[in-house]
Amino acid sequence: MANAIRTGSGVQESQSDTIAAQAYDLSVGYPNDTVASGINFALPIGQAMALIGTNGSGKSTILKTMVGLLAPRSGKLTVFGGRPTASASRIAYLGQFHNAGFILPLRAVDVVSMGRFPLHGLTGKMDSRDFDICMEALRTMGAEKLADIPLRSLSGGQQQRVYLAQVLAHRADLLVMDEPTSGLDAGGRELYLQAMNSELRRGASLLVATHDIREEARLCQQVMLLARRVVAFGPPEAVLNTETLLETFGIVIGGDTGAAVPECRHSHTEGEPAAAVHKRKLFRIR
Residues that bind ligand ATP (CB under 6 A): 30, 33, 35, 53, 55-61, 96
Among Mg ion, ligand ATP, none, partner that 181 touches (CB below 5 to 8 angstroms by kind) = none
Residues 170-189 that bind Mg ion (CB under 5 A): none
Residue 101 contacts residue 150 (beta carbons within 8 Å): no
Residues 54-83 that bind Mg ion (CB under 5 A): 59-60
Nearer to ligand ATP, 242 or 248 (CB): 248
Q: Give the integer Cα–Cα distance in Å for 12 and 23.
A: 9
Among ligand ATP, Mg ion, none, partner that 58 touches (CB below 5 to 8 angstroms by kind) = ligand ATP
Among Mg ion, ligand ATP, none, partner that 187 touches (CB below 5 to 8 angstroms by kind) = none
DSSP string, 27-75: EEEETTEEEEEEEEEEEETT-EEEEEE-TTSSHHHHHHHHTTSS--SEE
Query: Strand runs (DSSP E) across the chain, as ranges?
Result: 6-7, 10-11, 19-30, 33-44, 48-53, 74-79, 91-94, 174-178, 205-210, 222-226, 230-234, 252-253, 260-261
Nearer to Mg ion, 62 or 109 (CB): 62
Q: Give the integer Cα–Cα distance in Å for 32 and 257.
A: 41
Nearer to Mg ion, 210 or 241 (CB): 210
Residue 96 interacts with Mg ion (CB under 5 A): yes or no: yes
Among Mg ion, ligand ATP, none, partner that 124 touches (CB below 5 to 8 angstroms by kind) = none
Residues 203-232 that bind Mg ion (CB under 5 A): none
Give SS3 for 198.
helix
Residue 174 Cβ vs ligand ATP, minimum distance, rounded to whole Å? 19
Nearer to ligand ATP, 218 or 228 (CB): 228
Q: How many CB atoms lie within 10 A of CB 69?
A: 14
Cα-flanking dihedrals φ and ψ of residue 97, to 5°? Answer: -120, 140
Residue 263 Cβ vs Mg ion, minimum distance, rounded to whole Å? 26
Q: How many CB atoms lie within 10 A of CB 273?
A: 11
Among ligand ATP, Mg ion, none, partner that 35 touches (CB below 5 to 8 angstroms by kind) = ligand ATP
Residue 64 Cβ vs Mg ion, minimum distance, rounded to whole Å? 9
Residue 181 Cβ vs ligand ATP, minimum distance, rounded to whole Å? 13
Nearer to ligand ATP, 30 or 283 (CB): 30
